[in-house]
Amino acid sequence: MAKKAKSTSDKPNRSTKDRKTLSSIRDLADTVIQSAERGRAPYVDIPSRSLSNVRFNQSKRIIEMGGGTNRRELFNLAQARSYMQTLLVASGCKQLIDQGKTTSIRGLFYLLKHTIEGTSEETFDTQDECDPVIEDIEVSLDSMREELHLYAKNAGGDGWPDHTGR
């Protein structure tokens, strides 16, 4: 029986967008690592998605986000869970891109939902807790959901269009 030729790379061919998104995820992780290596509390800065952080660009005639951010720190008890969830979602998206797979936002929720070892804490209690973290990652990485290998799916929908005219 003939042997199968080994592939030189187990990595799928990546698009330019995939390489850009992976680079952004690595930059996010590098920021955390650099803080820890300097003896500082690891943190993640998330662009603020609030009305006070937007402005109307008159020349482009569009609304743009400002530079305001919210910092999530590992050693701040009030922020530790959201910090963990943010890095978990980024890691999950990296895993999808590395594997060349795509899933729904609900699929990512189930992929990431588990009990944290040594505790009775869940990573996410509900999908409503996970969805804003996915949006935070989108904004932080300046990426669209599809670039994170995610798609929205009507949860609970039967897949048939509504022909009632509503």
Known catalytic residues are 110
* 166: its two tokens: 């509503």
Partnered with residue 43 across adjacent β-strands are 73
Residue 120, φ and ψ in degrees, nearest 5: -110, 15
DSSP letter string over 102-129?
-EEHHHHHHHH--BPTTSS-BS-SSHHH
Distance CA 46, CA 70 (A): 5
Distance CA 8, CA 145 (A): 30
* 119: its two tokens: 């505790």
